[in-house]
Structure 1
Amino acid sequence: MPVIRINAIGDTFALHRSPRSPLGTLRQTRDSQGPVIIMTHGYKYRPDDAKACPHRHILSLHPTPMPWHCPSWPQQLGFGSGFEDEGLGIAFGWNAQGPLWAVRRRAVEAGRALAGLIQELHFLNPKRPIHFIGHSMGTELALEALHHVVPGSLNRIISMSGAVYQSRTLGALDTPAGKMAEFINVTSRENDLFDFLYEWMIQPPQHGDRSIGVGLQAPNAVTLQLDCAHTLDHLSRVIFPVGDPQRRICHWSSYTRPGVLRVYNALLRSEDRLSLSLLRNGIPKSSSRRWSRLFALPRPKALLPFAQKASLSLQAEETS
């Protein structure tokens, strides 16, 4: 049972497409070795929607073929390998369809359901680490859960292109549970348009607030900007190489970029070795400015052979 499919139903949780109690299924995993990794999606997914069910796509060990690239998060995060210590994967679905403001409200509600799940998992095995990884508005679930779980029950959070505000994130990290958690804020200037639209459509908690796409400063948080050459070099040295950015605008590159899910796998399974201080020591202290990628000039191409010869001839004339 490497992956259990669970959905938020209001502020409670239930097994996906099963009338059985999820608690009995969770009890069967209490002695499994390895961490618990809870995975959740972002906007437009909804369990049981034939075309947008996350349990058939990114949260599936064997995704249904799609016209676009659809990597299996569970596979890339180490599940289904057959190793005894691969741990327990939780594919956590929720209704993320509809107007953005309504989805954001449902995300908060689903966060309370997530908190109940974390509490149950922590009660069954207090020594087993519980981690979370989510994309876009899925980050909201983990932030809400921090307001309701006991300290130490949620260990490390990876936010991929998180659609949340800075003050909301800092407030969650300032709770008793949040102070004991670690927050890895994965960003990219490829996502600037989506961050801008989120700020335009969702009222900020306070004046002048920004989304975490522009960065986040907290003692227990680190921002990894995936289109920054220095950050990619650092990740390549200490963890695993990640492919270079291919687009100027992309909301999904934080999990579709080659190699990036393997980096998350290491971050969630080797948290002692891959500390936040180790990650900070090789990256810039601040993120690039918003729109810097969208409006960047194209990189100059190498000179063609005849141009190189002309350039050398010109230099010779100038020095003679």
Structure 2
Amino acid sequence: MPVIRINVTGDRTALHRSPRPVHGTLRQTRTLEGPVIIMTHGYKYRPDDAQACPHRTILSLHPAPGPCSGPSWPKQLGFGSGCADEGLAVAVGWDASGPLWAARRRAITAGRVLAGIIAELHRLNRARPIHFIGHSMGTELALEALHHVPPGALRRIISMTGATYRSRALAALATSAGRQAEFINVTSRENDLFDALYEWLIAPPKRGDRSIGLGLDAPNAVTLQLDCPDTLAHLARLSIPIAAPRRRICHWSSYTRPGVLRVYNALLRNHDRLSLPTLSCGLPERPARRWSRLFALPRPQLLLPFAQKAS
């Protein structure tokens, strides 16, 4: 049972295409060795949609071929290998279709439901770490869940070009559960257009607020700008290389870039060795300015030696 597929509809949960109860299935996993890694998608996905079901594509061990098919998150994060200590993957699907504001509202509701799943998993086995990884608006689920889970229930959160505001993230990290969690804010100037559209379409919680794509300053957070040469060199020194960026605009590079999902696998499974201080040491003090990649002068593609091996 390497992957449990759960769908959230309103305030209810159900196993994807299975009549079995969710909580009964979770109880069967309480003795599995290894971490729990909860993963969820971003905008436009919708479970059971023939063209947009995340369980057929990125959240599947064997993604169906097609134009929207991406790399298998579970497989790249270490699941399906048959190893006894690979842990448990929980793939969470929710309705992220329709207008952006409506999808965001459903994301927050889904985050409250996710909190119940996290609390149950934590109660079943308190010694087992529970981590979260989400793309774009999927980050909202983890931030909302931090307001409702017990301290220590959620250990490490990886936000892949998260679509949310700084004040929203800081408020979640200031909760009792948030103070005991670690937040890895993966950004890229490739995502600037989408960050700007988010700020334009979604009213900020307070005047002057900006998206976390411009960085996040918190004691238990670190920002990894994946199109920054200094950041890539630092990750290579930690033996977790990523290929260099090839596009000026891309919303999906935080999980489609060659090597990047393997980096997340290392961050989630070796969090003691790859601590936040270790990640922070060697990074630039500030992320690059917005639009700096889009309007940069063309230059030769100088791939670092390690990046060429990260495919």
TM over 0.5: yes
Q: What's 1:148 paired with? A: 148
Q: What's 1:309 paired with? A: none
User: How far off is 1:300 after superposition?
Assistant: 5.6
Inter-partner Cα distance in structure 1 for 2:187 and 2:263: 14
Task: State yes or no: 1:105 paired with 2:105.
Answer: yes
CA separation of 1:69/1:283 partners in 2, compared to 1, >3 Å: closer, same or farther? farther
Aligned residues between the structures: 302
Q: What's 1:313 paired with? A: none
Q: What's 1:63 paired with? A: 63
Between 188-197 and 15-24, report the one with greater CA deviation.
15-24
Q: Secondary structure at the match of 1:236?
A: helix
Please say if residues 4 and 89 of structure 1, whose CA atoms lie closer than 8 Å, have aligned partners that are also in contact: yes
Please say if residues 57 and 69 of structure 2, whose CA atoms lie closer than 8 Å, have aligned partners that are also in contact: no
Q: What's 2:129 paired with? A: 129
TM-score between the two structures when normalised by the length of structure 1 = 0.93
Inter-partner Cα distance in structure 1 for 2:31 and 2:183: 27
Task: State yes or no: 1:159 paired with 2:159.
Answer: yes
Letter in 1 for 2:63: P
Between structure 1 and structure 2, the one with the greater Rg is: 1
Q: What's 2:246 paired with? A: 246
Inter-partner Cα distance in structure 2 for 1:287 and 1:13: 38
Letter in 2 for 1:79: F
Please say if residues 57 and 72 of structure 1, whose CA atoms lie closer than 8 Å, have aligned partners that are also in contact: yes
Q: What's 1:297 paired with? A: 297
Letter in 2 for 1:175: T
Task: State yes or no: 1:219 paired with 2:219.
Answer: yes
1:113-169 Cα shifts (integer Å, max 9, x gaps) = 100100110011011000000000000000000000000000000000000000000
User: How far off is 1:67 after superposition?
Assistant: 2.4
Letter in 2 for 1:106: R
In angstroms, what is the RMSD of aligned CA positions? 1.1
Q: What's 2:15 paired with? A: 15
Inter-partner Cα distance in structure 2 for 1:46 and 1:257: 23
Letter in 2 for 1:74: P
Q: What's 1:181 paired with? A: 181
Q: What's 2:41 paired with? A: 41
Please say if residues 9 and 113 of structure 1, whose CA atoms lie closer than 8 Å, have aligned partners that are also in contact: no
Structure 2: unaligned runs, 5 residues or longer: 303-311
Q: Secondary structure at the match of 1:176?
A: coil
Letter in 2 for 1:163: A
1:155-194 Cα shifts (integer Å, max 9, x gaps) = 0000000000000000000000000000000000000000
Q: Secondary structure at the match of 2:121?
A: helix
Inter-partner Cα distance in structure 1 for 2:241 and 2:153: 31
Q: Secondary structure at the match of 2:158?
A: strand
Please say if residues 2 and 88 of structure 1, whose CA atoms lie closer than 8 Å, have aligned partners that are also in contact: yes
Please say if residues 63 and 69 of structure 2, whose CA atoms lie closer than 8 Å, have aligned partners that are also in contact: no
Structure 1: unaligned runs, 5 residues or longer: 303-320
Letter in 2 for 1:59: L
User: How far off is 1:239 after superposition?
Assistant: 3.2
Letter in 1 for 2:239: I
* Residue correspondence of structure 1 range 233-312 to structure 2 within 5 A: 233-299=233-299
Inter-partner Cα distance in structure 2 for 1:69 and 1:91: 16
TM-score between the two structures when normalised by the length of structure 2 = 0.96
Letter in 1 for 2:44: K
Inter-partner Cα distance in structure 2 for 1:170 and 1:69: 33
Please say if residues 3 and 79 of structure 1, whose CA atoms lie closer than 8 Å, have aligned partners that are also in contact: yes
Q: What's 1:315 paired with? A: none
Inter-partner Cα distance in structure 2 for 1:47 and 1:300: 42
Letter in 2 for 1:14: A
1:34-62 Cα shifts (integer Å, max 9, x gaps) = 00000000000000001100000000000
Please say if residues 32 and 87 of structure 1, whose CA atoms lie closer than 8 Å, have aligned partners that are also in contact: yes
1:253-279 Cα shifts (integer Å, max 9, x gaps) = 000000000000000000011000000
What is the aligned-residue identity percentage?
Answer: 75
Please say if residues 12 and 116 of structure 1, whose CA atoms lie closer than 8 Å, have aligned partners that are also in contact: no
Q: Secondary structure at the match of 2:55?
A: coil
User: How far off is 1:12 after superposition?
Assistant: 2.9
User: How far off is 1:69 after superposition?
Assistant: 5.5
The 4+ residue runs of structure 1 with deviation greater than 4 A are none
User: How far off is 1:68 after superposition?
Assistant: 5.1
